[in-house]
């Protein structure tokens, strides 16, 4: 519940880190439309024309889903979905934990609102990458461990910047919130079908033809549910894409955060050496949501980064 209260309080903050930002407007529109989508979803589930009951139920389910999404449990769901796991190898722990704690300490000195309980996780891929989830999760890749220490620090500082600016809240709201809504929809439909099947199996004077019609109706109902769930999944993906588009603008702010922690040059070096991600999944394509790396390097240079790439001698 603390997560959700803090999420709401961010709307009241009169600083650059609040959630009311121009580049988040598409997300707000999506969330408003989401309420109507959920209303339609449960309207189909209950097969009733009582607008008030269905709307209140849908709204209640959505509010509950948001409270769960903006919580440690919601963060755990997203970690699981994105392939993050605890770092178990002692050599990796001994190497990366002191680096992480050093950067986190610096970040908290710059912004005390950052939780001291932010934890580091790892994803099994050789891409040099990292991403933040919720309020207390940063996930690095195996490949990042091979990067120079200063570049690792710059990457972690950048991701902590996302947490500081609350950029990661929206992924929880949309992906986990809609997942819970869809799950409740499935439970409601399955329970309804079980009750319907129970009453249909009671002794009656129905002939075989009537029985065949009922079976056909049940099959059609299951197919319809599968289509609706697939559409809900696609709708959720649209919301995530909107967040990613918003994050394209937020990347510059996270870069600035890393620069303010004195990692501007290292971040420029990392960006200049970065290549396209080869893995798949919800967060594996995170780099594709970023602005052009040259734009980001140029912005860091404008902030004062002294990094200059060597292009060789000119004949």
Sign (positive or negative) of CA dihedral 294, 284, 141, 157: positive
CATH topology of domain 84-168+248-303: Zincin-like (3.30.2010)
User: Which residues in the chain are classed under CATH 3.30.2010.10?
Assistant: 84-168+248-303
Of the candidates 253, 260, 255, 248, the one whose C-alpha atom is nearest the C-alpha of residue 271 is 255
More confident position, 209 or 164: 164
Whole-prediction pTM: 0.77
Contact 287, 131 (CB under 8 A): no
* Predicted confidence (pLDDT) per residue in 281-291, tens digit: 554 444 455 68
Q: What phi and psi, each to the nearest 5 degrees, are found at residue 123?
A: -120, 135
pLDDT band of 236, cuts 50, 70, 90: confident
* Predicted confidence (pLDDT) per residue in 36-73, tens digit: 888 888 887 776 667 888 888 888 888 899 888 988 99
Task: Give the position of tokens 């439309």.
Answer: 33
- Give the whole-angstrom CA distance, residue 141 versus residue 122: 5
Residue 175 CA, chain-centre distance (Å), reads 6
- Give the whole-angstrom CA distance, residue 43 versus residue 37: 10
* Predicted confidence (pLDDT) per residue in 154-191, tens digit: 999 999 999 998 888 888 888 888 888 888 888 877 77
| Complete edge-to-edge strand list for the sheet that includes strand 119-123 | 85-86, 119-123, 137-141, 130-133
- Give the whole-angstrom CA distance, residue 139 versus residue 156: 9
Please give the pLDDT value at position 287. Answer: 44
Sign (positive or negative) of CA dihedral 30, 35, 37, 38: positive
pLDDT averaged over the chain?
A: 82
DSSP 11: T
- Give the whole-angstrom CA distance, residue 199 versus residue 157: 60
Q: In angstroms, what is the C-alpha Rg of the chain?
A: 24
Could you tell me where the DSSP H helices lie in the chain? 2-9, 25-46, 51-69, 72-81, 90-110, 149-164, 169-171, 177-200, 208-260, 264-273, 293-303
pLDDT band of 23, cuts 50, 70, 90: low
């Amino acid at each position: 519940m603390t997560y959700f209260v803090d999420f709401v309080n961010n709307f009241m903050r009169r600083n650059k880190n609040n959630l009311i930002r121009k580049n988040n407007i598409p997300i707000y529109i999506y969330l408003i439309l989401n309420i109507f989508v959920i209303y339609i979803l449960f309207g189909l589930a209950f097969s009733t024309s009582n607008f008030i009951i269905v709307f209140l139920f849908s709204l209640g389910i959505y509010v509950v889903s948001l409270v769960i999404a903006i919580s440690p449990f919601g963060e755990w769901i997203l970690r699981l979905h994105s392939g993050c796991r605890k770092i178990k190898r002692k050599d990796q722990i001994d190497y990366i934990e002191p680096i992480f704690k050093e950067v986190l300490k610096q970040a908290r000195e710059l912004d005390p609102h950052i939780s001291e309980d932010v934890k580091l996780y790892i994803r099994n891929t050789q891409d040099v990458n990292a991403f933040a989830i919720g309020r207390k999760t940063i996930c690095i890749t195996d490949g990042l461990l091979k990067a120079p220490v200063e570049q690792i620090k710059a990457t972690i500082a950048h991701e902590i910047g996302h947490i500081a600016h609350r950029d990661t809240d929206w992924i929880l709201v949309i992906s986990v919130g809609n997942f819970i809504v869809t799950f409740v929809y499935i439970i409601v439909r399955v329970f309804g079908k079980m009750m319907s099947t129970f009453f249909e199996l009671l002794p009656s004077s129905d002939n075989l033809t009537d029985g065949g019609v009922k079976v056909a109706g049940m099959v059609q109902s299951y197919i319809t549910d599968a289509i609706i769930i697939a559409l809900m999944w696609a709708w959720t993906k649209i919301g995530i894409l909107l967040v990613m588009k918003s994050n394209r603008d937020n990347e510059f702010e996270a870069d600035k955060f890393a620069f303010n922690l004195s990692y501007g040059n290292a971040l420029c070096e990392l960006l200049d050496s970065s290549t396209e991600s080869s893995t798949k999944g919800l967060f594996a394509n995170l780099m594709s949501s970023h602005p052009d790396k040259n734009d980001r390097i140029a912005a860091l240079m404008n902030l004062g980064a002294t990094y200059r790439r060597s292009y060789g001698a000119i004949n």
